[in-house]
Structure 1
């Protein structure tokens, strides 16, 4: 009996051959970035060819994420304590904090403007046919109560540091570390030295730990991509393709017309920066979790020339105050919900909604799909229907990849900008452990 080789099998073979050639190319490079890219492509192909198998591979991405989460809290705590307590001038630390917050507020406001302009231009929500509310409610969570500024302010401060570490509350850990470091800096040099040495050693160990875990990055990234494609399918985005293109286009425009001019204004070495941020951005894109890229992002920026005390303050703080991609997405998605529901919002109403998002977006966690919680809270505040938000669940995974990547790149750029603003970019020697991890 003759063997038939149809076009689908031929195309599948060609795609896997191309992936194999990419893997051969990656073997010639010392960096992990090519391997992460190959894993992303292979994962997407596996999710398309064998979706049932691909969905079962999610456990490997979960293992990678768990190991990363185990690093984050001690890494931030140790680097912040050594960065602040080891610095003689505490006024400089306060100055860095003020400059960071000013930068965060300006950039996130511009992200809101870009997202608002994009969705009003494409009007992607108009004409969308909504499913029955009862059917949507069966598969989606109920809307949380509206977020008030008092709630967010209270949430910044930890009541139990062990609880904050266990729940992955990065900002609470950072706040505790700042107060701890200030108290440590107030001790006499003889009493401060042993603890300072301990935390310096801990930070070096955690960077070494990061280097080890990063060898698993291609496996975790590939499994995450395979699950996404296998679970959703490549044809699941037809009805919401216009919105997805709007979001991706707005994020690209934000990078070109906001982040790039900022980098040029502060004389950031753009090519070196892009090379340094490539690996953490790849991890963020595949896992849809800013937290997964945090350790590598901190290493990459320190290797680029940002002092550790600035890296350890700006990047963790940015995870709550400078999520540019998530902020832009929230602006676009909020107006999309109103358009899909047939509600006309005046310019004034849209501005009020954006002012609300300036607050609520600061509480977005660096984990997948956390923006949906904020979006539900915004809908409850402005009396928007919840059904269009449930529609967004269909494309949220792919939208999350792009916005998380912009979050990571934006926070990395913020650390370089603050370092340049302080006149400290490239003036301090870089740890050998950090350089070893980046060169692997």
Structure 2
């Protein structure tokens, strides 16, 4: 169901009349569920027909990706404009970065502990082969580790439109911040006209989002049909324990770690997750964090976060705060070590942990996402067998579905918390939105 993005003064969500609820089969969440069910059925019944359905999922993701870059740019720029001065921007941004680093470190440490005690990969008893290692090194040579200076250089685009064409989120953030600063430097009459034009473009892109989201059930059907038809249950059975541990760990991170953080700041994680249930289903179906970004921007503003806090924290989090990626990397590092009988000392693990704190921040700047960043980490570590990477590639689709949910929800939680800390949050708007969306009886206590 389409969500309006109309806001009041200061970015506070303005009350707006809601249409009558449509029958369940007209609601996006149920339609996506039906698409998933049909995709699973086709994948098992007729895998040869299911595999070509991948094109439907790819079309949907491509459409989503076309609006992510301009939406991030417009929301960051308008967020800076709404803040009114660079001091306010710096205040929110600094708090967001501190939050990202602290939470990412906590999640990495907990994940490494779980990986050590779970013994993932210990039953495989694989042997590293020199020929396979050479082949894998050639295949993944493009993921060779990035120096700090190269990482810094990658943040700055060669041209304004080049960053948008490449979908380089960190570069788009840099451009957006500079453009927002330039907007604040304009004379009041010039700034007013520029802001009006940017707001009009933002509204147009949100309407485009509503149109594209109508194709989400078809995209979900195609993506799931391909995943099941291509690998069936073989990948799940061969690496089932790793998947089980990863899914449980990701769930714990969301419900326990993020739940405790939200409780400290007066939020309820279960109401929060119920409110975003449609987005969670979409994330699971598409295995792409970008698929839910446009709707997260809209719905977080409805929950009481100001336009400037959402525009600054959420896109930055997509580049710097990848909690699900941190869990994936921790578990898969120990999986490879155990599978090949490599005894990682505590010193090795702490070194790899420090490496992951850097490489996980670059996931949004590397084409291919979480798996490619993990491959870069394995290559850079110098102690893990790179020939084991194709083994994990076989279940990449299944792991990505859960990882992207944790990434997206982690950034949504971060936006709520940083907004509250920065005084950019309206509790009354949250209570009203929860009451209308989830029912008054279930939200009376908030």
Taking the aligned partners of 1:388 and 1:411, their CA distance within structure 2 comes to: 31
Q: Is the 8 A contact 2:43 2:227 kept in 1?
A: yes
Range 414-423 or range 37-46, more displaced: 37-46
One of 63, 66, 86 as aligned partner of 1:67: 63
Shift of 1:135: 5.5
Taking the aligned partners of 1:390 and 1:320, their CA distance within structure 2 comes to: 26
Taking the aligned partners of 1:136 and 1:369, their CA distance within structure 2 comes to: 21
Q: Is the 8 A contact 1:288 1:367 kept in 2?
A: no
Structure 1 partner of 2:425: 425
TM-score (norm 2): 0.86
* Inter-CA distance 105–241: structure 2 relative to 1 (3 Å threshold): same
Instruction: Give matches, 1:71-150, under 5 Å.
Output: 71-130=67-126, 134=131, 141-143=139-141, 144-150=143-149
Q: Is the 8 A contact 1:136 1:387 kept in 2?
A: yes
Q: Does 1:277 align with 2:273?
A: no
Taking the aligned partners of 1:207 and 1:136, their CA distance within structure 2 comes to: 47
The runs of 5 or more residues in structure 2 that have no matched partner are 1-21, 439-446
Q: Secondary structure at the match of 2:139?
A: coil
Taking the aligned partners of 1:310 and 1:164, their CA distance within structure 2 comes to: 23
Q: Secondary structure at the match of 1:159?
A: coil
Q: Is the 8 A contact 2:78 2:199 kept in 1?
A: yes
Taking the aligned partners of 2:220 and 2:234, their CA distance within structure 1 comes to: 22
Structure 1 partner of 2:387: 387
Q: Is the 8 A contact 2:255 2:269 kept in 1?
A: no
Shift of 1:136: 7.6
Q: Secondary structure at the match of 1:306?
A: coil
Taking the aligned partners of 1:146 and 1:367, their CA distance within structure 2 comes to: 11
Structure 2 partner of 1:407: 407
* Inter-CA distance 364–75: structure 2 relative to 1 (3 Å threshold): same
Shift of 1:150: 2.0
Range 236-245 or range 353-362, more displaced: 236-245
Q: Does 1:203 align with 2:202?
A: yes
Q: Secondary structure at the match of 2:30?
A: helix
Give CA-to-partner distance per residue, 1:99-123, whole Å, 9 cap, x none. Answer: 1101111111122112211211111
Shift of 1:161: 1.9
Q: Secondary structure at the match of 1:110?
A: helix
Q: Secondary structure at the match of 2:364?
A: coil
* Inter-CA distance 429–207: structure 2 relative to 1 (3 Å threshold): farther
Q: Is the 8 A contact 1:337 1:388 kept in 2?
A: yes
Range 197-206 or range 329-338, more displaced: 329-338
Q: Is the 8 A contact 2:47 2:229 kept in 1?
A: yes
Taking the aligned partners of 1:234 and 1:415, their CA distance within structure 2 comes to: 37
Structure 2 partner of 1:19: none
* Inter-CA distance 121–369: structure 2 relative to 1 (3 Å threshold): farther
Structure 2 partner of 1:396: 396
What is the number of equivalent residue pairs in this alignment?
Answer: 409
Q: Is the 8 A contact 1:47 1:227 kept in 2?
A: yes
Q: Secondary structure at the match of 2:181?
A: helix
The runs of 5 or more residues in structure 1 that have no matched partner are 1-25
Shift of 1:368: 9.0
* Inter-CA distance 27–428: structure 2 relative to 1 (3 Å threshold): closer
Instruction: Give matches, 1:277-316, under 5 Å.
Output: 277-316=276-315
Shift of 1:275: 2.8
Shift of 1:142: 2.1
Shift of 1:34: 1.8
Range 49-58 or range 96-105, more displaced: 49-58
Shift of 1:290: 0.9
* Inter-CA distance 290–367: structure 2 relative to 1 (3 Å threshold): farther
Q: Is the 8 A contact 2:168 2:365 kept in 1?
A: no
Taking the aligned partners of 1:38 and 1:136, their CA distance within structure 2 comes to: 43
Structure 2 partner of 1:348: 347
